[in-house]
Amino acid sequence: MDSDSSPNDANPGSSGSQDGGVDKTKEDEQVTVRRAKLGTLREQGQAFPNDYTPDSLCGEIAERFGDLDGEQVEAESAAYKLAGRVLSIRSFGKSIFMHVRDRSGQLQIYAKKDALAEDEFARVKKLDVGDIVGAEGTLFRTRTGELSLKATSFRLLVKSLRPLPEKWHGLTDVEIRYRQRYVDLIVNEDVRETFRRRAQIVLGIRTFLQERSFIEVETPMMQRIAGGAAARPFVTHHNALSLDMYLRIAPELYLKRLVVGGFERVFELNRNFRNEGISLQHNPEFTMCEFYQAYATYHDLMDLTEQMFAELAAKVCGQTTVKYGDVELSFAAPFARMTMGEAIAANSRLTPEEAEDETALAGLADDLGMDASKRKPGLGLMADVFDEVAERKLIQPTFVTSFPVEVSPLARASDDKPGFVDRFELFIAGREIANGFSELNDPEDQHARFLEQIEQRQAGDDEAHMMDEDYVRALEYGMPPTAGEGIGIDRLIMLLTDQASIREVILFPHLKPERNG
């Protein structure tokens, strides 16, 4: 007999609760038993060895021999030395079948009493699901055709003290999954695949930019002035300098200092921190890619972004059409483009012209019941109305352009449209994915806009920008015409992995404190 027909069966000692977690009473009992086994191992001097080195990977073996029949497998098999975590165990007295997984995949291991030393087989019989083992042997196919390693030597490398969830593939409690991501990764293959794709996406973005002569840099995480975005920062204190500092909300102003210094194509792919709520789309600590290109406009960056996203979708998903929830998103260029006024008009009673008129906007905001005390000043109200009526309806990739200056203090003023700036935001599946603009490089205009932001802060807007005199000084040395963009990496990964929550694409998302008891 062998375990081919039920490879996911856990051993009898791994039962758990119905929600995919482990029943607390049973878990305590099993931990006690496993600790006793570990105690015996310690007495024998065999606990946690570190002198075992595998020479092969389960997944690579499975791929290499996957199309060969039993005779061919045995004829071409060498001796292979594997290591991995035990996922299932089925014992039939003098023979034991188990599935072992390493970073590449899984393979069945066959341990037979007369093929192993007596003490080795005795240790195999005491294994638990979750233990980490090493096995050496040759390959064969079982009667039902499963590729397996017939062990000629066997070692227990790590004793697992806690049982995996019932049916090891069944962890479903969302809070446990996020708090104990290590267990989630052990038992859920789709979760591991999500984070493999995340790594592939991040590498793809780096490669895309580096191939276009962008240089990657690192700028300060702790800053004297929280600039580059409209957001509430986290505050910390540097004892030696006796100085309050902020975890950065964006790297923008430092990156543009580098453009002043001669790095004409520069990017940073790293973390930002914003003291905001937690939701399906927000985590206080998140990953952004910001890049700046001298002698370019925001139109150039829209074209570049289309190319980048199409390449990423093709590499990660195999095609430029990607399923996300109930819809199919097309990442093939060109993406739709419309002004903010046109987006508002398409989803309200206003015309595009009225959507750029403060009085008409105020009337619509009243009709929508929007709190007058929380509205942005001047034409900044456009952004509030857009968020209310249009944003969530932009499903296919869409660039929204022509933002009012009130909500764009770092963007270059439009040459042909007073009161507006050369800016875009990219929306996909009803949420903002990227934000870019032709940069404001007029130091006097920039200083004046910082002063306006200070007035907004004094009026109660704690997300308004702070004054950064050194950044203005940098602009006074001269920044070439430049365009810059920030991409929300976590949200992009959500789209390319079909995940509805940002917590599914962040390995260790922030959560409320764990409840005791």
pLDDT in tens, 52-109: 999 999 999 999 999 999 999 999 999 999 999 999 999 999 999 999 999 999 999 9
CATH class of 12-187: mainly beta
pLDDT of residue 167: 57
Q: In the structure, what pLDDT confidence band is assigned to residue 250 with cuts at 50, 70 and 90?
A: very high
Flag whether pLDDT at 513 surpasses 90. Answer: no
pLDDT given at position 176:
86
**Mean predicted lDDT score pLDDT of the chain:** 92
Taking the C-alpha atoms of residue 25 and residue 31, their distance in angstroms, rounded to an integer, is 10
> Is the predicted pLDDT of residue 292 greater than 90, yes or no?
yes
Task: Report the pLDDT value the prediction gives residue 459, as an integer from 0 to 100.
Answer: 83
CA 338 to chain centre: 29
The pTM of the whole model exceeds 0.85: yes
Mean predicted confidence (pLDDT) in 376-382: 94
CA 55 vs CA 37, 52, 79, 81, 137: distances in Å = 28, 10, 10, 5, 12
Residue 6: the pLDDT is 35
Return the pLDDT at 22.
53
- Statement: residue 145 has pLDDT above 90: yes
* Side-chain half-sphere CA neighbours of 135 within 13 A: 34
| pLDDT > 70? residue 20 | no
Does the structure show a pLDDT above 50 at 14? no
Half-sphere exposure of 388 (CA within 13 A, CB side): 19
Q: Identify the pLDDT of residue 11.
A: 39
CA-to-CA dists, residue 330 to 90, 317, 428, angstroms = 47, 12, 10
Which whole number is the average pLDDT over 194-208? 98
Domains 12-187 and 189-254+263-335+396-467+488-504 in one fold: no
Q: In the chain, what are the domain boundaries?
A: 12-187, 189-254+263-335+396-467+488-504, 339-390
Q: Is the pLDDT confidence value at 1 over 60?
A: no
d(CA 163, CA 121): 22
Structure tokens at 207: 């490669």
Do 322 and 494 meet the contact criterion of CB atoms below 8 Å apart?
no
pLDDT at 423 over 90: yes
pLDDT digits (tens, 9 = 90+) for 252-278: 999 999 999 999 999 999 999 999 888
CA distance 491 to 267: 19
310-314-319-322 Cα dihedral, nearest 10 degrees: -60
Q: Is pLDDT of 158 > 70? A: yes
* β-pair partners for 80: 137
Interatomic CA distance for residues 261 and 158, integer angstroms? 53
101 CA to centre of own chain:
24
Tell which CATH architecture fits domain 189-254+263-335+396-467+488-504.
2-Layer Sandwich (3.30)
